[in-house]
Copies of this chain bind each other. A is one copy, B any other.
Amino acid sequence: MNKESSIARLKEIDQEIVLYQNITALLGWDQETNMPEGAVEGRSEQLALMEGVLHDKITSNEIGDLLDILGADESQPSGDSSLSDQERGLIREHFREYNREKKIPKKLVQEMAVATSKAQPAWVEARGKQDFSLFKPHLERIITLTRDTIEHLGYKEHPYDPLIDQYEPGMTTAEVSRVFTGVKKDIVALLSKISEKMQIDDSFLYKTYDNTLQDEFGRKILKDMGFNFQRGILTESAHPFTTGVGKDDIRITTRYNEPTMSSSLFSTIHEGGHALYEMGAASPELKGTSLGTGISLAVHESQSRFWENIVARSDDFWANYYVSLQSMFPDQLGDVSQDTFIRGINKVEPSMIRVNADEVTYSLHIILRFELETALVNGELEVKDLPDAWNEKMHEMLGITPENNSEGVLQDVHWAAGLIGYFPTYALGNLFSAQFYQTLKQEIPDYRKFISSGKLIHLQKWLHQKIYQKGGIYTAAEVLQQVTGQSLDPSFFSGYLEEKYTRIYEL
C-alpha cells in the first residue's frame, strides 16, 4: 500500500469509528434523559459492547500498519510532512489513541471498569452519610490502578503527565503548575479585596421561576448565539452536558429550578457554547471524521465559559436582554433594577461546592483538586489523609472549612469514575477564554455594540472562523498561538477578573 491509498483507508476506518462513537454517545445521552430506571443493566451491556468494538477498531493491526506507512512515530506523531494539515491531524489523533490504548493491558482496563462501577454507588452512599471511610477503600483501589496505568503509559517528568495528556493532549504538569501558580496568587488577592466590601444581595434569584418560561428564554438566547436547532436539541437532565450524537446532531441539556434561576440559565448558555464549538467543528470538510469535533477539553471549556461568563454575565449582554427577562418574570424581577440584577448574577462569595462557585472562586476549587491529585499520584499524599488535606487547602485558598466531607472531599463524582487528570481542564478553559477574548476585542472593535444589541452572531462568526472550523486539525497550543499570537498566559484571565470585579464591587 502506498501513502495515498493508506490515507484513504485510514479515513474510511476513521469514519466508521466516528459512527460507533456517535452511537455510543446516543446511548449515553439517552441514559441521562429518557431511559427508564430499570434499564441500567441492559444499557451497561450495550455500552460495554460498543466500547469493546471501539477499542478493537482503534487498536487494530490494520491501523498500526497504516500509521507505519504514513510515517507516524514518537518523533513525528503527525506522520509524513508532505501530507495536508488535515491528514496530519488525523494521523496525529489516531497515533495517539492507538498507542495509548495499546499500552494499557485489557486486564487493567477491565479492573478499572470493575473498580469504578463499585466505587460510584459507594461514593453515593458515602456522600449521603457524610462518611469518607465508606469511599476510602474504593478510592485507594482506583489510585493504585491509576498508578499502574501511568507505569504502562510511561512519562518523562511527572507521573501526572500521562493523566492530563489524556484530556488535554500536549499539556504537562509543569505547565499547569506554572499557570495555576500565577492565577492562584492573583485570585486570592482579588478575593481579599472583595471580602472587605459590602456583600451583594441576590435573593431575587432564589424565587420560583416558571420552567416553561425559563426554557423559552434560554432558547431565545441560544438562537441568538447561533445554535442551529436543525442540527441540535435542548432537553433536560439532572446534570447539564453536551454530546455529539451525529455530525449534524449536537445535544445539550440543562436543568431548571436548582439552585437558582440564574444557574439554570447560565447552564444553558454554557452548554450552548460547547454546542457552537461542536457544530462549527463539524464543518462540511471535517464532519463525520475524528477531526470534526473540539480539539481538547480546555479549548472546549474556553468556549462554554466565554459565552457563559464573559458574554452573558456582562453589562452589555443585559443591556439587551434584561427588559425581556423582566417582562417575562414581573413578579420576580419587577422591582429589581438592571444594575442590581447584574450585580446579583456576579456575586462573589467563597463557598464549598465547586459546581455552584462564582467566576472568581471557581478556579481555586480546581487548583485545589490539581494539587491534591498530583500529590496522590506521586505518593506524597495517601488517600487516608485526603479529607484533612482537602479541608486545609480550602481554608488556605478560600478561607472556609467544610463542615463535613460531603461538602468537602466527597462532593464530586470524578474520582469515583476514575477521572483523574480531568479537573485542570476546567480552569485551563477559563485561562484560554480570557486570552481568546483579548484578541477578539482587538479584532472586533464593535464587540460591545454587538453584544448590547443582541447581535451575538457576530461573535459566533469570529469564533467560528478562528477556532470552531479548525476542529481537531491543530493542537490546542497551535490554535491558541494561531488566534492570539502567543502561548498560554494566565495574566489575561487575572486581568479580566481584576477589571470586571473592580467595577462590580467598586474596589
Residue ranges of A at the interface with B (Cβ–Cβ < 8 Å): 16, 19-20, 22-23, 26-27, 30, 34-39, 41-43, 45-46, 49-50, 228-233, 235, 245-249, 288
Contacts and interface: CB of A to CB of B under 8 A. Distances in A.
Contacts of A41: 247-248
A249 B26 contact: no
A41 B50 CA distance: 21
Contacts of A229: 36
B34 A235 contact: yes
Given A19-B45, A34-B235, A35-B249, 13 more contacts: A19-B46, A23-B23, A23-B27, A26-B46, A36-B229, A36-B230, A36-B232, A36-B233, A39-B231, A39-B247, A42-B288, A43-B249, A46-B246
Contacts of A249: 35-36, 38-39, 42-43
B46 A231 contact: no
What's the number of copies of this chain in the assembled complex?
2
Contact of A231 (B20, B30, B36, B230): B36
A249 B42 CA distance: 8
Contact of A22 (B42, B233, B245): B42
Nearest to A287: B42
A248 B22 contact: no
Nearest to A229: B36
Contacts of A26: 26-27, 30, 46
Contacts of A19: 45-46, 49
A39 B235 contact: no
26 contacts: A19-B45, A19-B49, A20-B49, A23-B27, A26-B26, A26-B30, A30-B30, A30-B245, A34-B34, A34-B233, A34-B235, A35-B233, A35-B245, A35-B249, A36-B233, A36-B248, A36-B249, A38-B228, A38-B231, A38-B248, A41-B247, A41-B248, A42-B246, A42-B249, A45-B288, A46-B246
A496 B167 CA distance: 66
Contacts of A34: 34, 233, 235
Contacts of A39: 231, 245-249
A14 to B, nearest CB: 13
B230 A49 contact: no
A479 to B, nearest CB: 25
Contacts of A245: 30, 35, 39
A45 B16 CA distance: 9
A249 to B, nearest CB: 4
A243 to B, nearest CB: 12
A46 B16 CA distance: 9
A164 B236 CA distance: 43
Nearest to A15: B45
A51 to B, nearest CB: 12
A200 to B, nearest CB: 39
Contacts of A22: 42, 46
Contacts of A50: 23
A378 to B, nearest CB: 40
A39 B29 CA distance: 15
Contacts of A230: 36-38
A46 B22 CA distance: 8
B246 A43 contact: yes
Contacts of A228: 38
A36 to B, nearest CB: 5
A284 to B, nearest CB: 12
B36 A23 contact: no
A37 B46 CA distance: 26
A288 B46 CA distance: 11
A377 B48 CA distance: 44
Contacts of A231: 36, 38-39
A310 to B, nearest CB: 28
Top 4 A-B pairs, shortest CB-CB distance: A42-B246, A39-B249, A38-B230, A38-B248
A288 B35 CA distance: 17
Nearest to A49: B19
Nearest to A39: B249
A20 to B, nearest CB: 8
A27 B42 CA distance: 16
